[in-house]
Amino acid sequence: MFPIDRREFLRDLGGTLVTGSAAWCSLNSLTSARAEDVAIDPTIVQFRSEMEGVVRWIEQAPREKILEQAVEKLKNGLPYRQLVGGLFLAGIRNIKPRPVGFKFHAVMVMGAAHQLSLDASQADRLLPFFWALDNFKGAQAQDVKEGDWTLSAVRDAEVPSASQSRARFIEAMDRWDEAAADVSIAGLCRSASSTEVMEIVWPYAIRDWQNIGHKAIFAACAGRTLDLIGWEHAEPVMRSLVYGLLNGGNTDSAAPYDKNRELAGKIRGDWMDGKPDPDVTRSMVQSLRVATTEEAAQAVVTQLNRGVAASSLWDAILLAAGELLMREQAIVPLHATTATNALFFIFRQSGNDSTRRVALLQAASWIALFREGTRQRGRFPDKPNIDAFQPSDAVPPSIEAVFDGLRQNRDTAAAQVLAYSRHGGDPARFFDAARHLIFTKGTDSHDFKFAASAFEDFSYASPAVRPQLMAASVYYLRGAGEPDSPLLERTKQALAIL
């Protein structure tokens, strides 16, 4: 079984914030760990030695002291990769990936936080990671309240041999068998390459829309983060992922997958040699406003067989996702962007022709699901379509001016961004300004996840649609007039002694 009871890992949660000179005093007062704090519990999953100590520190640190302790660790030479890896693995061990969302965002946000930090200024580079540390402690405490789930140690005696792991894993996943899938993925991680493991997992990551696409999002996050921290840590991560992928069982929400696998076989063999067609992108966006899941996927197949490039269809899907967020700034339309980003990532990462075809078809079908999910909430305001949205009459004097007024009127800000982009505005300046505001004012995992998705999708989209995608992103970015994150001042004080 995956979940088990565990010894108490948390110590002294709660209390007051540590700031200013008190932060420095707290560092000097740190004491050696007690024997019971470092004892190994054989019933829970253990990590490699270079990560286990970091994970235990993160698990046991009080929330109100963890930022200052992190600074001390960095000062003493702890590598950034180990710090990120320790936090990610602490989430893997301590937070239940069911449902794949809610408090589990503390794990899924790690890939996005790192992505955003890569292009951040030196002064901002650690801000997303420190936010993620505090966010993990909150999720960890919530998990304790909800039953204190922990990823158990794998049943080594049941792990299949290298020659049997692949077939056993596929059989287990096809019949939604949790116990068999758990030991089989462990066997795969011990015997197959990282590429082989992910190629086998990708189809199951895109199999169903349950948890509004979070299964694909988690899979993409796991692959990205393991690329950073090292695939030697893959086994526990993949076990957590598989446990999440099997959440919900075989329900009707998996229906598009079975039909799309059939449709994928009807695509011409040389589909990757298609030519870009902006007219098809525009017509596809129109189709996605009304199509059923089957109609959306069939439209993709028809265009591919006509010789249209997959890139033109991805452009349409990205635009359709952005349009949903323009209509309502809420969780369901937000995930039209983040889930599409995950499917697009899988499409680019996979070397399996069938997986790539199905990922594209699923992306089109899921837009229909997100659209109807948004309509069912009863909030679908009549706004201009993304392809009919007009730029402002004047180019804004600066990109900072756009973010200054964003909170007051997002429609106006989006029109200004569209004018800025179409008149040769530097995308890097836009993303730099947006990124800084996320780091300083963001309070939710979705602030980071959405931005990382939208910025990446922009870079892979065709130049002709990038202005519209940039404008659409404004509907979920932070504005300069919003209050700073409650954690920001404490983070600054902790970093001041670095």
pLDDT, residue 321, reads: 98
Same-domain check for residues 460 and 428: yes
Q: Which two tokens stand for residue 316?
A: 């349409």
Within 8 A by CB and 6+ apart from 368, the residues are 288, 291, 292, 293, 295, 296
Instruction: From 198, 216, 250, give the residue that closes a domain.
Output: 250
Instruction: From 342, 376, 410, give the residue that closes a domain.
Output: 376
Cβ-count burial 18-39 (b if 16+ within 10 Å, e if not): bbeeebbebbeeeeeeeeeeee
Distance CA 133, CA 129 (A): 6
Residue type, 444: D
Residue 16 lies in a domain: yes
Region label for 112, one of left (φ > 0), alpha (ψ between -120 and 50) or beta (otherwise) = alpha
Residue 162 lies in a domain: yes
pLDDT, residue 284, reads: 98
Distance CA 344, CA 318 (A): 9
Same-domain check for residues 201 and 138: yes
Same-domain check for residues 264 and 308: yes
- Tell me whether the omega of the peptide bond preceding residue 467 falls within 30 degrees of 0, making it cis: no
Within 8 A by CB and 6+ apart from 271, the residues are 304, 305, 310, 357
Residue 46 lies in a domain: yes
Q: Is the dihedral of CA 126, 448, 475, 323 positive or negative?
A: positive
Same-domain check for residues 219 and 341: no
Q: Kindly state the helix (H) or strand (E) to which residue 86 belongs, with its residue range.
A: helix 80-94
Residue 327 lies in a domain: yes
Residue 385 lies in a domain: no
The residues with which 275 forms a beta bridge, in sequence order, are 308
pLDDT, residue 35, reads: 35
Q: Tens of pLDDT along the chain (498 residues)? A: 444 333 332 232 222 222 333 332 332 322 233 334 445 688 999 999 999 999 999 999 999 999 999 999 999 999 999 999 999 999 999 999 999 999 999 999 999 999 999 999 999 999 999 999 999 999 999 999 999 999 999 999 999 999 999 999 999 999 999 999 999 999 999 999 999 999 999 999 999 998 999 999 999 999 999 999 999 999 999 999 999 999 988 875 557 999 999 999 999 999 999 999 999 999 999 999 999 999 999 999 999 999 999 999 999 999 999 999 999 999 999 999 999 999 999 999 999 999 999 999 999 999 999 999 888 766 666 677 999 999 999 999 999 999 999 989 999 999 999 999 999 999 999 999 999 999 999 999 999 999 999 999 999 999 999 999 999 999 999 999 999 999 999 998 998 876
Same-domain check for residues 406 and 439: yes
Per DSSP, the residues of 19-84 read -HHHHHHHHHT--PPPHHHH---TTB----HHHHHHHHHHHHS-TTTHHHHHHHHHHTT--HHHHH
Residue 24 lies in a domain: yes
| Burial environment of residue 471 by CB neighbours within 10 A (0 to 12, 13 to 18, 19 or more) | buried
Same-domain check for residues 270 and 371: yes
Q: Which residue has the tokens 């963001």?
A: 442
Same-domain check for residues 245 and 149: yes
pLDDT, residue 383, reads: 75
Residue 381 lies in a domain: no
Asked if residues 360 and 314 have their Cβ atoms less than 8 Å apart, the reply is yes
Residue 212 lies in a domain: yes
Asked if residues 334 and 476 have their Cβ atoms less than 8 Å apart, the reply is yes
The residues with which 151 forms a beta bridge, in sequence order, are 3
Same-domain check for residues 145 and 177: yes
Say what the pTM is.
0.91
User: Among 272, 322, 262, which Cα is nearest to 297's?
Assistant: 262
Same-domain check for residues 24 and 110: yes
List strand residue ranges (DSSP E) for 74-122, in order.
none
Same-domain check for residues 132 and 144: yes
Domain range spanning residue 426?
399-476
Distance CA 328, CA 235 (A): 39
Same-domain check for residues 219 and 283: no
Same-domain check for residues 187 and 43: yes
Instruction: From 250, 278, 303, give the residue that closes a domain.
Output: 250
CA angle, residues 137, 140, 145, in degrees to nearest 5: 130
pLDDT, residue 22, reads: 32
User: Among 32, 132, 68, 187, which Cα is nearest to 496's?
Assistant: 68
Number of domains within the chain: 3
Distance CA 395, CA 418 (A): 9
Q: How many helices and strands in the chain, by DSSP H and E?
A: 24, 0
